[in-house]
Every structure is written in C-alpha cells, then in structure tokens.
Amino acid sequence: MERFLGNPILKPIEAHAWESREVFNPATIYLQGRVHLLYRAIGNDNISRIGYAVSGDGVHIDDRLAEPVLKPENDNERDGCEDPRITDVDGTLALTYTALREHNHLQSYQVALTTISVKDFLLHRWNWGTRRLPFPGVYNKNAVVFPKKIGGRYVMFHRIEPTICIAYSDDLKKWCDIMSVMGPRPEGWDNWKVGIAGPPIRINEGWLAVYHGVSVEKIYSLGIVVLDADHPEQVLYRSKAPILAPKEDYERFGKVPNVVFSCGNAVIDDRFFIYYGGADSTVCVASINFEDLLASIRM
Ligand code: BMA
C-alpha cells in the first residue's frame, strides 16, 4: 500500500465542539464520481458523532460540513455512535455503526443499523430511517452489509469478540443464521482479535474484504481476505502478512498508539483506496494498483 503523502487528510477542528479532539475511522462510499466520507468525530464531551466530508480525487478533501450528520438519538447509543460503515445495497444506503452506552464506567456496545436513500444522501438531507439493533443485547461491533443480496437475502459481517461472524436477513431488520467466519490465528499480527473493515467487493474469485487484526501487544494492522461468492462464510484466502501496519508517526502516536483501523474503501480508476484512522486521531488514506492487489491473492 502507498500512503498518501498528504496524510492525514482530515484533522480535528478545535472550533467545532463536536469534532474538536479526534476524527478517524471513516465509512466511505463512491457515488457520482466522488468519495463521500462519514467519519467518527469526538468532541469536548467525549461523545462520538458522525461528520461528513467529500473528495473528488479520493485524497484531497473538497468540502466538509460544519455540523454532524448523525448523532446519538436514543438510550442505546447515548454515549456515542462509533465506527460507521456504509454500503449501497441495491440502491439503498445501509449504515451500520457501534452504539455505545456506559453503565457505571463499563462500556456496553451493540451494532446499530439505519438506512437513507441515495437521493437524500446526495442532497445532504440526513433523513436516516429507524435505527435498529440487529442483535439486541449482544456485545457486538464492526458490522458491514454486503453490497448485493446472496440467495435473495441481505448479508452482514459483524464481530462477536474475537471472531468475524456472518448473518443473513430478508428485510435488513431481523437477522438470523449467525455463523463464525474467521477468528484470530495463533501466531503473529492478528493473534488477539479480528474485525471486518469496509464493504466487501465482488471479484472473479468471490468477495474481497479488508479486515483488521489485533495482536496481543494491541497493535492494529490491516489484512485481506477472499470469501466464497455464494457462501461468504467460507474463507478462500487470507493474507499472511498485513497489507498495512502502523509505521508513520500519525499511526504510532495519538489517542491510541499503533493503530491503523479501516471502515471504508473505494476503487477509483485502476486504484484501490483504503481509508483509515491513524492512532484513533486523524483520517488517512493509502492506495494500491487494484490489479497488483488481485495478483497478490492469486500467488
Ligand atoms: C476498537 C474501536 C475502534 C478503534 C480501535 C483501536 O475497539 O474502538 O474505534 O479504532 O479499537 O483503538
């Protein structure tokens, strides 16, 4: 992966109380020739909200809104809306995020899911639909919806610690057939826990997805995985080494050191872009020629 030399592409804005401390882990979606970023922002009150920025070339930010586009709205997410992922699934945008609630300093977190029409999204009318909990009461995060139905059903990856799991749904409301997909490996960089990054991409071999792996030393790195086209609970390939690991200062030092954490990607022309949070503090981007990435999984 080649890091963009202008990283970080988004930094906190001190004058905005809601995004004054950290901005990181953006969801991304490529629509009408632009990359739209929904980034996690932490402000003076230590609560996570979601902000919006947009880029025409994938690396330079052309516009950024001064107000959050999604913020806690009910008790389940009272203490924050974290780590969004967004997917265009047959013309509806499905947004998943981590709903955080604290009880006596103990964190409880669940997956939350809402939708918005492409039209509203592009017009910046933030008419999010009902916020649902696909797995009520279950400690769960790192959820992302697949961009296509499989066997007539919606598909979602999510993470019941320490394992990436799958679930299926007829209506994006009720989820069933939860199965484990892949867990940590005993050796190396992903030996503590794993979680999926942005939406999987359909390639000839099946589904290509980026995931994060955490080592017992609490270093967050990114790897890739290829899943079967019709049964994405089956892993066909998993990268031995990370494709991106903390190296630059903006990845090694910050609110949480040694973290590269991704919730979004985009293919623009012949390049694959990975958007990620550096050290839970800023938004960064790295890219690779898409054919080179595909060649690496075929070797
Ligand atoms: C995870 C999430 C991410 C964060 C990562 C590293 O549990 O909270 O938002 O980037 O830890 O701190």
Render each residue's pLDDT in the chain as its tens digit; 299 residues: 999 999 999 999 999 999 999 999 999 999 999 999 999 999 999 999 999 999 999 999 999 999 999 999 999 999 999 999 999 998 999 999 999 999 888 889 999 999 999 999 999 999 999 999 999 999 999 999 999 999 999 999 999 999 999 999 999 999 999 999 999 999 999 999 999 999 999 999 999 999 999 999 999 999 999 999 999 999 999 999 999 999 999 999 999 999 999 999 999 999 999 999 999 999 999 999 999 999 999 86
Q: How far apart are CA 42 and CA 46, in angstroms?
A: 6
Radius of gyration, CA atoms only, the chain? 18
220 lines ligand 1 (CB under 6 A): yes
- Give the residues across from 137 on adjacent strands: none
How far is it between the farthest Cα atoms of the chain? 50
Identify which of 98, 262, 280, 281 to mutate to test ligand 1's pocket (most ligand atoms within 8 A of the CB). 280
Give the H or E element holding residue 38: strand 34-42
3-state secondary structure of 104: coil
Q: Residue 140: CB partners within 8 Å, gap ≥ 6?
A: 109, 110, 111, 158, 159, 160
152 Rama class: left (phi>0) / alpha (psi -120 to 50) / beta: left
Q: What is the pLDDT of residue 151?
A: 97
Q: 9: CA distance to ligand 1 center in Å? A: 19
Can you read off the two tokens belonging to residue 67? Answer: 């107000």
Q: How far apart are CA 272 and CA 197, in angstroms?
A: 14
Q: How far apart are CA 196 and CA 157, in angstroms?
A: 7
Q: How far apart are CA 223 and CA 193, in angstroms?
A: 12
Q: Whose CA is nearest to atom 9 of ligand 1?
A: 83
Q: Whose CA is nearest to atom 7 of ligand 1?
A: 141
Q: What is the pLDDT of residue 35?
A: 98
Q: Is the peptide bond before 184 cis (omega within 30 degrees of 0)?
A: no
Q: What is the pLDDT of residue 106?
A: 87
Q: What is the pLDDT of residue 105?
A: 83
Q: 119: CA distance to ligand 1 center in Å? A: 31
Q: What is the pLDDT of residue 107?
A: 87
Strand order in the sheet with 163-169: 141-145, 154-160, 163-169, 176-182
Q: Minimal CA–CA distance to 35: which of 16, 13, 63? A: 63
